[in-house]
């Protein structure tokens, strides 16, 4: 399909994230029912939605995102009663997880029912389903009156969008309507768990921490593809793609067991100096832990321009004009939830600034830190362990 054939006028509709106007939801629901695409906020990231039961509408999602056809979509529902038409059966353990985590950032992979189009599941016998914890998402699905297939509302390979502006950057002219409900809260995508076998398997870390799952479900296995083992056929097809990648090469500093923020900071500063030396006259992005910012600022003071930026501040047209260090605070090392909420916006901001490279300080892989490190590893060109 040529670009010109896919271009559609994109409308933006502001909605209150807590009390969305019923008229706005009805209008967006009608677009979905008529086979169109609507981008909307969830508690994780913005989604690009289509009627999950309409194969033609579902194909539009893949075209708009440039998404490979073998990467399945998550189907969003407004209530557990909608599961009946989507899945063949719900094992006891799945109900336990639903009772505890829905609505919320947990996607369950279940055996699919016959009426779910193959395009949604990329031909798999299973389907991923979740009930989001966001009034706009729930109101939209209810207004549409159909389950809504929705991957993240970014062009394939770009960081997931956490604001309506990010969606516009990527999908202007490719989506009919964007519901702008402000920035999303969690900031990383849902946790994906396969519950078709005797033991649940974590396929993608996300908004519900693995520790919380284990507290409720007991044993939860981790997919070998997640812990770096080469697998021929990853269970979660999306995990094989270099997702979330910013345009600039990213160097990730990964703390090993026992390594604290200060070791991470030291290694990050060395990496920044190397990147600056390799790109004279350009800026290098530094995603820094809150506790390391003072030392970086001090180290730079005598020798280099050092700027601390906020990801929601506009970048100058044509990119960041001065060489040196362009730092963005990732959040405190002990609060990975805060890091998760800022991560994708920071990566997008560095791209808009046109930095030569990005150095990212990592966190411990516990709680939401597991999802943060998973996304950073996928975005990284190189990983340095300290």
- Cα 263-268-272 angle, rounded to 5 deg: 155
Q: Decide if residue 44 touches Mg ion (CB under 5 A).
A: no
How do the residues of the chain divide into helix, strand and coil, expressed in percent and rounded to 5?
Answer: 35, 20, 45
Q: What string marks each residue from 51 to 90 as x (binds ligand AMP by CB under 6 A) or -? A: --------------------xx-x----------------
Which one of 121-129, 168-176, 224-232, 340-348 is the stretch in contact with ligand AMP (CB under 6 A)? 121-129
Contact positions with ligand AMP (CB under 6 A) in 176-205: 189, 192, 203-204
* 152 touches Mg ion (CB under 5 A): yes
Name which of ligand AMP, Mg ion, none residue 128 binds, using a CB cut-off of 5 to 8 Å depending on partner kind: ligand AMP
What count of other Cβ atoms lies within 10 Å of the Cβ of residue 98? 20
Give the total residue count for the chain.
386
Site membership for ligand AMP, residue 237 (CB under 6 A): yes
Q: Residues near 205 by Cβ (< 8 Å), separated by ≥ 6?
A: 191, 226, 370, 371, 374
Interaction of residue 162 with Mg ion, rule CB under 5 A? no
Q: Based on CB atoms, which residue is closest to ligand AMP, 17 or 205?
A: 205
Closest distance to Mg ion from the beta carbon of 120 (Å)? 15
- Does position 41 interact with ligand AMP (CB under 6 A)? The reply is no
| Both tokens assigned to 95 | 């109900």
Are 167 and 37 in contact, with CB atoms under 8 Å apart?
no
Of 74, 91, 77, the residue nearest 190 (C-alpha): 74
Among the listed ranges 10-18, 171-179, 237-245, 301-309, the one in contact with ligand AMP (CB under 6 A) is: 237-245
Indicate whether 126 belongs to the interface with ligand AMP (CB under 6 A).
yes
Q: Do 45 and 187 meet the contact criterion of CB atoms below 8 Å apart?
A: yes
111 or 279: CB nearest ligand AMP: 111
Residue 77 gets the label, from left (phi > 0), alpha (psi -120 to 50) or beta, of: beta
Cα angle 119-122-126, degrees, rounded to a multiple of 5: 105
Number of residues that bind ligand AMP (CB under 6 A): 20
From the list ligand AMP, Mg ion, none, which binds 375 (C-beta under 5 to 8 Å, kind-based)?
none
CB of 154 to Mg ion, least distance (A): 6
Give the ranges where the chain is alpha helix by DSSP (H).
3-6, 22-33, 55-65, 92-101, 118-121, 135-144, 164-171, 210-217, 261-278, 293-301, 336-353, 369-379
Binding residues for ligand AMP (CB under 6 A): 71-72, 74, 109, 121, 124, 126-128, 151-152, 189, 192, 203-204, 235-239
Binding residues for Mg ion (CB under 5 A): 151-152
């Amino acid at each position: 399909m040529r670009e010109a054939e896919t271009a559609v006028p994109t409308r933006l509709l502001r909605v209150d994230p807590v009390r969305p106007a019923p008229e706005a939801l009805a209008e967006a629901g009608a677009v979905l029912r008529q086979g169109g695409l609507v981008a909307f906020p969830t508690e994780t990231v913005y989604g690009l939605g289509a009627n999950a039961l309409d194969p033609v509408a579902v194909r539009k999602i893949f075209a708009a995102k440039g998404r490979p056809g073998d990467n399945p979509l998550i189907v969003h529902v407004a209530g557990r009663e909608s599961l009946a038409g989507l899945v063949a059966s719900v094992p006891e353990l799945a109900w336990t997880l639903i009772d505890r985590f829905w609505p919320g950032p947990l996607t369950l992979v279940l055996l699919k029912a016959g009426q779910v189009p193959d395009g949604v599941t990329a031909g798999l016998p299973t389907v991923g389903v979740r009930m989001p914890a966001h009034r706009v998402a729930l109101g939209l699905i209810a207004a549409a009156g159909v389950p809504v297939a929705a991957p993240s509302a970014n062009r394939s390979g770009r960081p997931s969008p956490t604001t309506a502006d990010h969606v516009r950057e990527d999908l202007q002219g490719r989506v009919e309507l964007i519901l702008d409900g402000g920035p999303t809260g969690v900031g990383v995508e849902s946790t994906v768990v396969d519950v078709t076998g005797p033991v649940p398997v974590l396929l993608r870390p996300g908004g519900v921490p693995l520790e919380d799952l284990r507290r409720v479900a007991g044993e939860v296995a981790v997919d070998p593809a997640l812990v770096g083992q080469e697998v021929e056929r990853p269970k979660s097809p999306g995990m094989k793609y270099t997702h979330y990648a910013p345009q600039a090469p990213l160097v990730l500093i990964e703390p090993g067991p026992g390594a604290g923020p200060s070791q991470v900071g030291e290694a990050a500063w060395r990496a920044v100096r190397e990147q600056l030396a390799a790109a004279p006259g350009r800026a290098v992005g530094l995603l820094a832990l809150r506790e390391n910012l003072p030392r970086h600022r001090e180290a730079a003071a005598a020798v280099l321009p050092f700027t601390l930026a906020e990801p929601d501040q506009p970048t100058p047209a044509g990119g960041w004009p001065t060489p040196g260090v362009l730092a963005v605070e990732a959040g405190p090392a002990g609060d990975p939830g805060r890091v998760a909420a800022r991560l994708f916006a920071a990566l997008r901001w560095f791209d808009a600034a046109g930095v030569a490279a990005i150095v990212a300080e990592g966190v411990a892989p516990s709680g939401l830190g597991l999802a943060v490190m998973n996304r950073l590893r996928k975005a990284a060109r190189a990983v340095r362990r300290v």
